[in-house]
Amino acid sequence: MATGSSDSKRSRPRSARPRVSVLRVGHRIGRDPRLTTHLALAARALGADRMFLEPPDPELAARVAALARRWGGSFSVEGVDDWKRVVREFAGEVVHLTMYGEPLDRALPRLRTARDLLLVVGGAKVPPEMYRLADRNVAVGPQPHSEVAAVAIVLDRILGVPGPAGFRGARQRIVPRARGKKVVAVRRGR
């Protein structure tokens, strides 16, 4: 990743970082489960606290919850029927990620110092009102790509990749190694 990317050694302490929520609008139940699941997993692994999902998809939320029980942390997927309500009532900065927005590098200083951030991503189509209701529209490059890539890059730039301490209550954890796989059970109380 280009300049500004970070690894776990450079991730910011939890007390100094914004709390980040993700809102995914326009999820198509039955057509998007894999993509939206990847969005939730990337958001969770890169430090977001929760994902609002419009419309709700209880099966997807349950699958992510099962994974989170095993791998730790408090990330959850909350179904919402009315995305406008989430945007209007969010007590923080609402950042709609779109290729038409202002460049990420320009918005970053403001995003890094916010207390609460809502990163909004769409699917095939985004309701036009989103551009007006969001506090800002931010582009991760002026080319179309993917909601997963957009959220992952923004989280990396804002928070850095969290280490194991970000996933309390995990039942298992990976022992990082250059070759092979090692996964160990975590004893209760850690």
Determine, following the binding rule CB under 6 A, whether residue 137 of this chain makes contact with ligand SAM.
no
Alpha helices by DSSP H, listed for the chain, are: 33-45, 58-71, 83-89, 104-113, 129-133, 147-159
Please tell me whether residue 98 binds ligand SAM under the rule CB under 6 A: yes
CB of 124 to ligand SAM, least distance (A): 6
* 139 binding ligand SAM? (CB under 6 A): yes
Does 121 bind ligand SAM (CB under 6 A)? Our answer is yes
> Looking at beta carbons only, is 68 or 119 nearer to ligand SAM?
119
Please say which residue, 141 or 163, places its beta carbon nearer to ligand SAM.
141
Closer residue to ligand SAM (CB): 11 or 36: 36
Q: How far is the CB of 130 from ligand SAM (least distance, A)?
A: 9
Among 128, 144, 176, 189, binds ligand SAM (CB under 6 A): 144
**Residue 62, CB half-sphere, CA atoms under 13 Å: how many?**
3
Specify which residues 103 forms β-bridges with.
Answer: 139
Alpha-carbon distances of 51 from 2, 131, 154, rounded to whole Å: 26, 20, 15
Is the distance from CB of 22 to CB of 43 less than 8 angstroms? yes
